[in-house]
Amino acid sequence: MGTSVFETGALTTGAGTADNVSLTTLNFMAIQGGTATQASFVEEVYMGGQATASAPTIMLLGRDSTVGVGMVALVTPNSFGLTNPSGAVVTAIPVAFVTASGTQPIRSNSVTLAKKNFTFNSFGGIVKASYQNTQDRFGIIGSTASLGELSLSAFTGTTTSSIGAHIIIEVM
Amino acid sequence: MRSKRDQQGELLIDHTFSPGITPEWAAAHGATGPVVGAGKKYESGLINCKHCGSDVLLHPQRMREREWCWTCDAYICDNCGLLRKLGDYTHKTARQQMEEVFNRYQRSF
């Protein structure tokens, strides 16, 4: 067990993507399970707006009905690593990515798969949701659709801007 | 000593230095959750419903009783509370449901 942080320095939201539509490369943050049975749970979601003019933003944390294929390794300023430098290193860590060379993730439109909605203004706005002490946190299990991958991306109606964000997950 | 609030998270939406979100914009775009206007900061306790896993914001001014599951010894959301009262309700936690779906998927190979 150990907690890891997936961070993006400047994530472009785009104008938002509807459910059940392929997400646009570099417009999402996604985490896919590292093995067929691995479970991970979200501890914290943080988003800090970087817009230079008013930009109402609808960010959804949801599970993907089509998982990414050919996930491209992160490059700076994005990062994914253990929160504590002496934390336990998992043999097959989850895969964090912002683009895929094959299939891009598709956020599920299932009405029985939970999603979390964070609506804020990216012009100076900040959102932080902490789940550290809660039970039954939002999580993924395995590495296949529709429970094995989560993504954070903008929903339709968003005004294009940039945000800095991180997701802390606990790998069980 | 254990408290009902032990397992509480926190939601912060800070528009102190931001134009924020107007109720009209939120309504027009179907945005759910707290609508925080210009110059406002929203802070609230947060729990996950033990039965469905959804976020439950603990509104400090709520007067009516909050739904509590004695089996789980945890808060649940109003929707799950209502379903439980309507009867014919199978008690399952969100994690149990998730594991069931996952196991069904694994067996399908």
Query: What whole-number distance in Å separates Cα of residue A15 and Cα of residue A116?
Result: 18
Query: What whole-number distance in Å separates Cα of residue A61 and Cα of residue A169?
Result: 13
Nearest Cα residue to A45 out of A123, A109, A124, A134: A134
Q: What ipTM score was computed for the predicted complex, to two decimals?
A: 0.92
The average pLDDT across A17-27 equals 96
Q: What is the pLDDT of residue A1?
A: 65
In chain B, domain spans: 7-107
Query: What whole-number distance in Å separates Cα of residue A119 and Cα of residue A16?
Result: 12
The average pLDDT across A48-70 equals 96
The band of B74, judged by pLDDT with boundaries at 50, 70 and 90, is confident
Backbone angles phi, psi at A65, to 5 degrees: -80, -20
DSSP symbols for A106-148? EE---TTS-EEEEEEETTT-EEEEE-TT-SS-SEEESSSTTTS
- What's chain B's average pLDDT? 88
Contact B45, B58 (CB under 8 A): yes
Q: What is the pLDDT of residue B100?
A: 85
pLDDT for A165 beyond 80 = yes
Task: Write out chain B in H/E/C secondary structure.
Answer: CCCCCCCCEEEEEECCCCCECCHHHHHHCCCCCCCCECCCEEEEEEEECCCCCCEEEECCCCCCCCCEECCCCEECCHHHHHHHHCCCCCCCCHHHHHHHHHHHHHHCC
The average pLDDT across B27-36 equals 89
The average pLDDT across B47-73 equals 87
pLDDT for B93 beyond 80 = yes
Residues of A in contact with B18 (CB under 8 A): 49, 120-121, 123-125
Query: Which residues fall within 8 angstroms of residue B65, CB to CB, at 6 or more apart?
Result: none
Tens digit of each residue's pLDDT (9 = 90 or more) over A25-57: 999 999 999 999 899 999 999 999 999 999 999
Query: Cβ of A130 and B10 within 8 Å?
Result: yes
Query: Cβ of B48 and A125 within 8 Å?
Result: no
Backbone angles phi, psi at B81, to 5 degrees: -60, -40
Put simply, whether B59 touches A (Cβ < 8 Å) is: no
Query: Cβ of A120 and B19 within 8 Å?
Result: no
* Residue for token pair 């932080």: A128
pLDDT for A136 beyond 80 = no
pLDDT for B1 beyond 80 = no
Q: Beta-strand (E) ranges in A13-161?
A: 28-32, 39-49, 56-66, 79-82, 95-97, 106-107, 115-121, 126-130, 139-141, 149-154
Extract the tokens encoding B6: 């032990």
Percentage of residues in chain B having pLDDT higher than 90: 33
User: Which of A133-137, B28-32, B64-68 shows the lowest mean pLDDT across its residues?
Assistant: A133-137
Residues of B in contact with A137 (CB under 8 A): 48, 53
Instruction: Kindly list the distances between the CA atom of residue A81 and the CA atoms of A7, A62, A169, in Å, as whole numbers in the listed order.
Output: 9, 21, 10
Query: What whole-number distance in Å separates Cα of residue A74 and Cα of residue A92?
Result: 16
Q: Which of A36, A126, A142 sits opposite B14 (nearest CB)?
A: A126
Report helix, strand or coil for A46. strand
pTM of the model as a whole = 0.90
pLDDT for A2 beyond 90 = no
Query: Cβ of B48 and A135 within 8 Å?
Result: yes
The band of B109, judged by pLDDT with boundaries at 50, 70 and 90, is low
